[in-house]
Structure 1
Amino acid sequence: MFDQLTELVKQFGGDAVVNNPAVPNEHNEAVMEEASGSILSGLKDMVAGGNIGDLAGMLSGKEAIDMNNPVVKELAGKVTGNLGEKFGLSPEAAGGVAGGLIPQVLGGLVSKAQDPNQPGFNVQDIVNSIGGGQGGGLMDMVTKYGGQFGLDQDGDGQVGMSDAVAAVTKKSGGLGGLLGKLFGK
């Protein structure tokens, strides 16, 4: 996952980092690496903190990936702070890098995850990677037994990540309802 994020940061880092006069040229590569690491650790922190709903909404591609998105805001704060601390960038300069980079990188991640021609990018792998491998067991169990409990949210005859995203983003029930159905509560 880190390699995939790093590639997206390099792809979109031209204006936000390389062509940004506030970032000294000798720091371009290191700033992009720090941004990649900060984005990944920020996503992991969100999962660890239970902020699955906002993340699932973003990964579903149904929410705008801009500075109004709570995931983007949280990651921008983390990246801004880290860039200021490690490279001495002013809050405005670090915020400009974060604001110019994060929405594009996350948008690219979501686009690639939803593209069937991108086998290295899929939502389940992203969730597993962000969750440190912890998402796999739950998703495997939901996929295997979920159909028996009415968890097929999209009616395709299979229970997969799209069903989990649909369940998490629904106002009634959400993830608790999904797990309650699975475990008979």
Structure 2
Amino acid sequence: MFEQLTQLVQQYGQEAVVKNDAIPNEHNEAVIEEAGNSIFSSLQKIASEGGVEKLASLLQGNNAQDPSNPAVQQITQQLTGSLGEKFGLNNSAAAGVAESLIPQILGGLVNKTNDPNDSFQITDLLGAITGGGAQSAGIMDAISKYGTQFGLDQNADGKLDMQDALAVTKSGGGISGFLGKLFGK
């Protein structure tokens, strides 16, 4: 997952970082790297604090690109603070970079998880964020446990799994629609 995130940060970092006069050229690479690290650590923090709803909300529709989304705000604030602290950027410049980068990168990441032609899947994202341990399994178990009660068992096999998610994806709802049904959004 970190590789996909790094690619997205580099892709969107050209405009927000490299072409930004507020960031000295000698810091461009480090600022781009910090953006990736900040997003990854923020997502991990959200997951570790039990923010399943925040993560699910992030995966719905265009929520990852919505600056008013609580997860987007949290990640943007962390990156803003980090850029100011590590690179001496004033708050306005740091916030401008973060507000430009975060929604684009998160939107790109969510699009990758929703793209049936991309090998990157929601389980990859959850595994990377949670370390692939019990927490990731717990999130998927919660989705499985409660999903059948909300009519998400798309293939009527009595369990909720990636086959059901793929069925929703093929029907046009995407994984975000699948999780949206689960969390009632």
Counterpart contact for 1:43–1:130, Cα < 8 Å:
yes
Find the aligned partners of 2:96 and 2:6 in 1 and give their Cα distance. 19
Structure 1: runs of 5+ lacking an equivalent: 172-185
Aligned-residue Cα RMSD (Å) equals: 2.5
Report which stretch shifted further, 156-165 or 105-114: 156-165
Q: Which amino acid aligns with 2:83?
A: L
Instruction: Give the alignment of 1:23-172 within 5 angstroms.
Output: 23-61=23-61, 63=63, 65-119=65-119, 121-134=120-133, 135-138=135-138, 146=145, 150-151=148-149, 153-157=151-155, 159-160=160-161, 162=165, 165-166=179-180, 168-170=182-184
Q: Which amino acid aligns with 2:152?
A: D
Find the aligned partners of 1:140 and 1:100 in 2 and give their Cα distance. 31
Q: Partner of 1:29: helix, strand, or coil?
A: helix
* Equivalent residue, structure 2, for 1:183: none
Counterpart contact for 1:142–1:160, Cα < 8 Å:
no
- Residues 66-97 of structure 1: CA distance to partner in whole angstroms, max 9, x if unpaired? 21111110000000001111100111111011
Q: Which amino acid aligns with 2:82?
A: N
Q: Return the offset for 1:154.
A: 2.5
Counterpart contact for 1:17–1:23, Cα < 8 Å:
yes
Counterpart contact for 1:12–1:105, Cα < 8 Å:
yes
Q: Which amino acid aligns with 1:128?
A: G
- Residues 37-85 of structure 1: CA distance to partner in whole angstroms, max 9, x if unpaired? 0010000000111111021111133636221111110000000001111
Q: Return the offset for 1:136.
A: 4.2
Q: Partner of 2:65: helix, strand, or coil?
A: coil
Q: Which amino acid aligns with 1:59?
A: L
Q: 1:76 to 1:129 in 2, by over 3 A?
A: same
Counterpart contact for 2:10–2:32, Cα < 8 Å:
yes
- Of all paired residues, the percent bearing the same amino acid is 43
Find the aligned partners of 1:131 and 1:40 in 2 and give their Cα distance. 10
Q: 1:136 to 1:76 in 2, by over 3 A?
A: closer
TM-score (norm 1): 0.80
